Amino acid sequence: MLKKLFSKSKEEKHSMEVAQSLLTNECLPSHIAIIMDGNGRWAKKRAMPRIAGHHEGMQTVRRIARIADDLGIQVLTLYAFSTENWKRPKSEVEYLMSLPQMFLNSFMPELMERDIRIEMIGDMEGLPSNTKKALNQAMEMTKNNNGLILNFAMNYGSRAEIVAAMKAIMMEVSNGKLTMDDVDENMINQYLMTSSLPEPDLLIRTSGEVRLSNFMLWQLAYTEFWFTDVLWPDFDQKTFMQAIQAYQQRNRRYGGLKGESSS
């Protein structure tokens, strides 16, 4: 069943209902992760500054979050700012750091109406104070919401995440709280930033790039990948549905054979 659509025109509602009818409800991905790429190229094609592309990309985040919520997706993780992105020009970084406050301030009424919960993975302490404040406020305000988890990867790097997890486990072993025999895949999962989330079923990357860029390297071990040449600001409902339909047509074997029993 479609959730109640929020402030949509009749045409938009009809389009969403048609798109929903093309999907297999029992095979929807629970967790979709997206590497949002192409904002700068979108702006360059239009002879606009890069920040104009980032602003338009923020509007795409709103559109895709609404669609994911309408479909009943449980978790939407968006790669918003990597640990490597600090290398970009200072003015661009400052603008990117202002986007969470802009986005959350304007989107908060709808987040509450839709029962969407904001989460974040990444190094919070490394963010500017205004960015931390906006994210902390949003997480606090939405902590009791039970709908879509809109999870932002901010100041996030997967290798740093894995190193931090290994150090934490080594400390537990050193303190006698764990033994070496306790350390297995499930244990490592518990020390990752995504410990409370299911692993992504589907990864989408926009703009034609075909790499992971240090994103959720552990968590994506058995995730289905879908790449598109569409730039993130142009990513729309139709493209999103294409990605989900492609996912639904795949046979996820997790190393086994099609039709093979688990015994």
Name the binding residues for substrate: 38-42, 50, 54, 82-84, 86, 88, 205, 211-213
115 is catalytic: no
85 is catalytic: yes
- Torsion angle, CA of 183/184/186/189, rounded to 10 degrees? 70
Global pTM reads 0.89
Q: 36-84 pLDDT, tens per residue?
A: 999 999 999 999 999 999 999 999 999 999 999 999 999 999 999 999 9
Question: Which of 101, 119, 115 has the alpha carbon at shortest distance from 144?
Answer: 115
Find the mean pLDDT for residues 148-152.
Answer: 98
Name the binding residues for Mg(2+): 37, 224
Per-residue b or e along 26-62, where b marks 16 or more CB atoms closer than 10 Å to that residue's CB: eebbebbbbbbbbbbbbbeeeeeebbbbbbbbbebbe
Q: Read off the pLDDT band of 22 (50, 70, 90).
A: low
Q: 217-259 pLDDT, tens per residue?
A: 999 999 999 999 999 999 999 999 999 999 999 887 666 666 5
CATH 3.40.1180.10 applies to domain 29-157+199-248? yes
Write down the catalytic residue from 85, 145, 189, 214: 85
Sheet holding 75-82, edge to edge: 117-121, 149-156, 75-82, 31-35, 202-205, 224-227
Write down the catalytic residue from 25, 37, 115, 181: 37
